[in-house]
Structure 1
Amino acid sequence: MAAMTTWEYATVPLIVHATKQILDQWGSDGWELVTVLTGPDGNGLVAYLKRPSGER
């Protein structure tokens, strides 16, 4: 039986004029974008990312 993948998660505030650069940097570190939602205060955007545990 194959081992089940375990995940670690991150939330990252996005700066509108630098969104691509921010996501590219996290992506190069092995993070996968799950979704982007409005921040908890109703302003700005927050990216939710995941990667398999232990991929540092």
Structure 2
Amino acid sequence: MAAIPTSLQGRDNVSSMTKWEYATLPLLIHATKQILDQWGDDGWELVTVVPGPNGSSPVAYMKRPKE
């Protein structure tokens, strides 16, 4: 049996890996739960929340599998 060239090794794994799309959104402190629930209903998963660029409004990073 011939050896698989290094350039092709793992290629099947790459094609079967989940592909993701990402979104960032500002969170309003008084409506955080409602915002995240709506995005969750649309298939988005929360990855992290970090302070926004101005230091006051947090920003959520979301992901979901590409279709």
Q: Would you say same fold, with TM above 0.5?
A: yes
- Partner deviation per Cα, 1:9-43 (whole Å, 9 max, x = no partner): 00010000000000000000000000000012222
- Alignment: residue pair count: 54
Structure 1 stretches lacking a partner, 5+ long = none
- Report the RMSD for the aligned CA atoms in angstroms: 1.1
The structure richer in helix per residue is 2
Q: TM-score, normalised by structure 2?
A: 0.75
Moved over 2 A (4+): none
Q: TM-score, normalised by structure 1?
A: 0.89
Structure 2 stretches lacking a partner, 5+ long = 1-11
The structure richer in strand per residue is 1
Partner of residue 12, structure 1: 25
Q: Which has the higher contact order (CA 8 A, sep 6+)?
A: 1
Larger radius of gyration: 2
